[in-house]
Structure 1
Amino acid sequence: MLNQRFPYAKEIVETVIENAYVWIVIVDANGRVIYMNDNYCKFCEVEKHEVVGRHVTEVIENTRMHVVVESGEEEIADLQYIRGNYMIANRIPIYADNKVVGAFGTVMFRDTKEWHEMNSHVRHHLSSLPSFLEQQDVTGAKYTLNDIYSCSQVMAELKEKIKTIASTDSSVLIRGESGTGKELFAHSIHLLSNRSEKPFIKVNCGAIPEQLLESELFGYEDGAFTGAKKGGKKGKFVQANGGTIFLDEIGDMSLHMQVKLLRVLQEKEVEPVGSTKTIPLNVRVITATNRPLESLMDNQKFRNDLYYRISVIPLYIPPLRERIEDLETLVRHFIKKVSLRTGKRISLIHEEVMETFRHYHWQGNIRELENIIEAAIHLAKADVITLDAIPDYIKKKHVFSEQELSLKEMLNEAEKNIIKETLKKYDDDRKKVAKVLGISKSSMYEKIQKYGIK
């Protein structure tokens, strides 16, 4: 009757079942296999025509399909260990004439890793919903991948990698120059993880004096030292328990603190200052730095064992100059963002300005771009951003003469110009410039003297 009304019904149903995302098996009232789709057969390394009629226990490892037939009770989202993997299986009894005549089973996620990755994927799509945004205020994490504006292939691949690794509990080390948005990625990883409803605690290791960092990270007991808060204080690690702690500028941490941090990461417990008791921890650690950790390790300024502990999953955020195709997307975003905040309407940015931006080095990366757009909007005389509204140092082109110069001479000239412009940008704050350029203060003074910079 069905074939008379729908002549290709059999072919349609078979095609749908065979190409379904899930793996499917159907058994009769005696637990014998009636049907098993191709993907499931391939995974179990059995031939489709050979499994029909065999008892399901002879075909699928640790199956409970025969149990469901006997009990008549469904089993949803049950873990099943098959061929070295834990899988998430559903088993549903089939009723006819008020009795169980069989059962069908599906495996939706082929292993728990796949399930976690799907969770991260779903959270990414939920991240624009109001309820999700309200949750961000509670946890402390503010940014999702939707807040990272880009159109380049390298950033698209990086975002996909974030979705994949977010579901794990492995430590993540985020590398990248200052201003590339490392913190935004840390927030995104937390919000896409299974810890998204738990605290996200941020610590800037370079902004806290060394003598205070230990009590800030690990907390202290009542009376632990002079001036200690009555009743003691919870450290950042305890505040982050169950969630994620983000240690920014990890490369600025002293060797003394590195030893203490390493112990906490290894033992998964923390001992507050002045206490004799330890507190067990369940915290995911994300770290970030713009400093060359490999060079620091070579100079015994950063511990090798700590490096390998925090960099289980390394991520690199490329500088803006290496993904210049993102420039237009970022400019449009910042114009809209700043215009809304300031109330000044900007409808256009002149092509000459964009061309100037494309040839600029962007030492300060996205943070520098946002600051320049904000200044330009304030300085714009109409609703169009022109060259008059952007800083002179952006417009200056570093062009080498056509005379033959050695590679060393060209590099020296480029280095000299970069140092001069950066000193100008930071009002001759040489300590700040050295940090921004990733060199020591002594190296900065040597280069200033070498190039005769005043």
Structure 2
Amino acid sequence: MSQIRALDPLDAASDLPRDARSVLELAARSMFQLFADTAEGMMVVDRSGRVVWISEGYKQFLPALGLKDEADFVGHRVEEVVPNTLMHEVIATGRPILVDLLTNKAGTFLVSRIPLRDEAGEVIGALGLVLMAHPESTMQPLMKKFAMLQRELDDARKQLAEQRRPKYTFASFIGSSPQAMEVKRQARRVAGTDSTVLLLGETGTGKELLAHAIHAASSRARRPFIGVNIAAVPETLLEAEFFGVAPGAYTGADRKGRDGKFKLADGGTLFLDEIGDMPAPLQAKLLRALQEQEIEPLGSNQVIKIDVRVIAATSRDLPALVAQGRFREDLYYRLNVVPIRIPALRERLSDLEALVEALEEDIARRSGMPHREVTPEALEVLRRHPWRGNIRELRNVLEQVSLLTDDLRLDAHHFARVLSPGEAQAAAPVAAAADEARTAGPQPPQAPHVRPLAEAVAELERRAIAEALRITGGNKLAAARLLRISRATLYEKLAAWPELRQLS
């Protein structure tokens, strides 16, 4: 006992209680008194959250809280007299909040909250301490860092939300032709459902834009829109890209694991572009995910339930691929619930003028160049072009022409420079008439037998790809290896030359 008496911080001269219980009670009273003396304010609430006691120091904050005296505070529920308090959370969970910033109309305070327990360990209330009033003055560097981190977190959340928000609406799908109006009618109708949609159409017709628009008009609009281009992802990575990776699934894997596109799109929409290029081994797993609405990450035995609406798109002939055994028939029927065919640009040339105007405005906005006017003669030249790349090709041509001249009016002769030789020759009478109206001076001699270098290189590439596909029997992966280019690069080239697809 002499050793215990020597450790007594209260009164070394007095005799200590003989039992440990009394020692603990004395220690508790000592700590309570220490808190009351050192804290700027202290309160005690019971298990129902009512204030039962406040220290003399705490009374200094009552006027700032809009209260006249102690009677307006004690006996009331703590959330009624202290805005933004978390005392009720401490009572409910039994876990302390040792350091926190509390901000309300009385100011900003550094506070601590500790649960109080009875002999059986049950929470009977909580102790709240104001450690420091107005810490923004005495803890300015820490407060600045906290504010900076909060801003960075808010910015990151905003950027993430922007990336996953639909970029386009039905207003973005430009056109008033009967074909365009029918596409929008079908898309608006299906947007109100959760049905799987299959968008069909040539490359560059606006399939991804329409997918965004369907999501934006659906009940899932506030949830993520996640898109993945299957042709652009290496075959060996597709499973992990879709279904995610469990922690430590393989050497070098992230110890925290990685969510796949299905998990990221949970509650929202998953857009599968170029679905016709999905490898056969993965088609069965995709079918299960669509049917059961559940996935199994790579390297995991855990099945995760998901809620995802799928919109698929392809420029390929899926029924032909099914007939060839290169695409699962059951997966095709699962995707082909609501098919929407998007017409090629040459099938809705009445929309060409509106598309040109909208694209010119967007090019000017993005590039900082002045807005260009396209003359009726130039529009006539554009109508004669076959537009194998559709609206994507149209935008490319308009951007090229805008970069090659400072003229604010784009005439027929401007487009003759960038169109292929066949279209350029067809445009020659229109371009000549426009030139004659603009100037009577002599025209420079033409050299039709000399092809632009870019066209010559493109033709060489086209022939090399055609030969590689012929040698490999249409196997794109083998053809890409033979050409020493990536599979994704080969798909980009094939998108530019649709006539080569029959070789694959």
SS, match of residue 198 in structure 2: strand
Question: How is 1:427-446 mapped onto 2 (pairs within 5 angstroms)?
Answer: 428=462, 430=465, 431=490, 432-438=492-498, 443=503
Pair 1:425–1:240, CA change in 2 (3 A): farther
SS, match of residue 227 in structure 2: strand
What letter is aligned with 1:267?
E
Which of 336, 339, 342 is matched with 1:311 structurally? Answer: 336
User: 1:343 Cα shift?
Assistant: 3.1
CA contact (8 A) 2:381 2:427 kept: no
CA contact (8 A) 2:388 2:498 kept: no
Would you say 1:395 and 2:424 are equivalent positions? yes
What letter is aligned with 1:335?
E
Give the Cα separation in 1 of the matches to 2:457 and 2:335: 33
1:375-422 residue CA offsets vs partner (Å, 9 max, x unmatched):
1112234211123322141424399xxxxxxxxxxxxxxxxxxxx989
Would you say 1:341 and 2:366 are equivalent positions? yes
1:292-345 residue CA offsets vs partner (Å, 9 max, x unmatched):
111111110000000000110001000000000010001111112212333332
Question: How is 1:4-43 mapped onto 2 (pairs within 5 angstroms)?
Answer: none
Would you say 1:231 and 2:265 are equivalent positions? no
Task: Give the corresponding residue for 1:180.
Answer: 205
Would you say 1:251 and 2:276 are equivalent positions? yes
Give the Cα separation in 2 of the matches to 1:333 and 1:159: 18
Which of 298, 302, 314 is matched with 1:273 structurally? Answer: 298
User: 1:350 Cα shift?
Assistant: 2.4
Give the Cα separation in 2 of the matches to 1:142 and 1:161: 20
1:272-310 residue CA offsets vs partner (Å, 9 max, x unmatched):
111111001111010000011111111100000000001
Pair 1:230–1:304, CA change in 2 (3 A): same
User: 1:141 Cα shift?
Assistant: 1.5
TM value normalised by structure 1: 0.60
Would you say 1:149 and 2:174 are equivalent positions? yes
Task: Give the corresponding residue for 2:324.
Answer: 299
Which of 198, 206, 217 is matched with 1:192 structurally? Answer: 217
What letter is aligned with 1:161?
Q
SS, match of residue 300 in structure 2: coil
SS, match of residue 231 in structure 2: coil
Would you say 1:386 and 2:415 are equivalent positions? no
Give the Cα separation in 1 of the matches to 2:222 and 2:198: 22
What letter is aligned with 2:311?
I
Task: Give the corresponding residue for 2:190.
Answer: 165
What letter is aligned with 1:355?
E
1:210-242 residue CA offsets vs partner (Å, 9 max, x unmatched):
110001100111111122112111111011111
SS, match of residue 339 in structure 2: strand
CA contact (8 A) 1:176 1:290 kept: yes
User: 1:271 Cα shift?
Assistant: 0.5
SS, match of residue 232 in structure 2: coil
Task: Give the corresponding residue for 1:362.
Answer: 387
Pair 1:177–1:426, CA change in 2 (3 A): farther
Structure showing greater radius of gyration is 2
More moved, 136-145 vs 207-216: 136-145
Which of 165, 183, 186 is matched with 1:140 structurally? Answer: 165
SS, match of residue 426 in structure 2: coil
TM value normalised by structure 2: 0.54
CA contact (8 A) 2:412 2:427 kept: no
* Percent of pairs with identical residues: 41
CA contact (8 A) 2:389 2:495 kept: no
SS, match of residue 288 in structure 1: strand
1:352-382 residue CA offsets vs partner (Å, 9 max, x unmatched):
2111111110001000101111111122342
Unaligned residue ranges in structure 2 (runs of 5+) = 1-157, 429-453, 466-489
CA contact (8 A) 2:195 2:337 kept: yes
Pair 1:283–1:334, CA change in 2 (3 A): same
Paired residues, what number? 292
Unaligned residue ranges in structure 1 (runs of 5+) = 1-132, 400-419, 445-454
Give the Cα separation in 1 of the matches to 2:219 and 2:362: 31
RMSD: 2.7
